[in-house]
Structure 1
């Protein structure tokens, strides 16, 4: 069933910035979290998450390998009254996490930015403004990008505690892993980047 346009927002992003404008400086901003096999929460089982903001106040990230099955990019543009339709470019839609599922974020390469863009790392940015959708629809915008509805969030110290309990591994991403990997293989590819065999990992999963 089609969703109403009012259910989707692209507000100005309000994430913690460091003095130089980056997000989560000194923490895991820009890193990927890779779920350990012992993480059985169905919202995060085998999840690969790009950490977009991480500070003493908490963390937020975008789940990369949960495709949004209920909405297409063209349908979303139609609901938001963004032209042209059909768009000259397409962008993959993700269910970015269980928090605020009607709020949209575009995780993208840092070759495009607006006043609403926040730098996640030297190569990545996060934009929560409809301007980026207009640019993509018109055939421009960033070279690579993913559009997520919703995000994953952690309170102060929560992510650090989960990592200490062996819920997550972290790895530095590359563009191929971020933007080109297929959702059903992305978890294994992220582990392969760490040179970890998931079959061996699962044998010891769940032990602190």
Structure 2
């Protein structure tokens, strides 16, 4: 199992009304890694409505299993969109698992799906296609341009909150009433 490097790892990035990139409109991203070389995160609130893991996976031992039917599938971000990433609770770990914090882990191999099918996988999980990535200094520039708000990560928001409520709940978690946000901002 691998550990992440800290900086903002384990926190949420919440798109602000000034976010220029429409792919991230009202997005909540859970940051997996953040270090001087760059950052990687998973968008947790953009469900892929017609996606089903059974349609995405071509392994007979996994197909048509009710244990994976209810795993939410989201658009994880614009990078590597054909690759699956699973955010999950700590009950599953293998050599490719990244511990983000004590309650949230990331695994991106078939072993976790096999474990879920057998009934001994993580209690809670979220399947994402793709991820959001930033090269060195890019995320910091976007933060300076007021594109993102930062909030502490929360496993309940990741795994228990409905996708359409995550952005609003994440904003409220840092004491901001989302009804008062607008796209005009400045810097001091």
State the TM-score, normalized to the length of structure 2.
0.91
Cα shift at 1:195: 1.2
Is 2:142 the counterpart of 1:196?
Answer: no
Deviation of 1:84 (Å): 5.9
Segments of 5+ residues of structure 1 without an aligned counterpart are 1-19
Show the counterpart of 2:87: 107
Compute the displacement of 1:120 (Å). Answer: 1.1
Q: Counterparts of 2:3 and 2:52 in 1: how far apart (Å)?
A: 31
1:83 aligned residue: 62
Gaps of 5+ in 2: none
Which residue does the alignment assign to 1:117? 97
Helix, strand or coil at the partner of 1:177: helix
Taking the aligned partners of 1:48 and 1:194, their CA distance within structure 2 comes to 13
Q: 1:95 aligns with which of 43, 67, 75?
A: 75
Per-residue deviation, residues 97-127 of structure 1 (Å, max 9, x unmatched): 0111001110111232111101112221110
Query: Who is 2:8 aligned against?
Result: 28
How many aligned positions are there?
186
Assess, with a 3 A threshold, how the Cα gap between structure 1 residues 82 and 62 changes in structure 2: closer, same or farther.
Answer: farther
**The residue matched to 1:80 in structure 2 has which SS?**
coil
Calculate the aligned-residue CA RMSD, in Å: 1.7
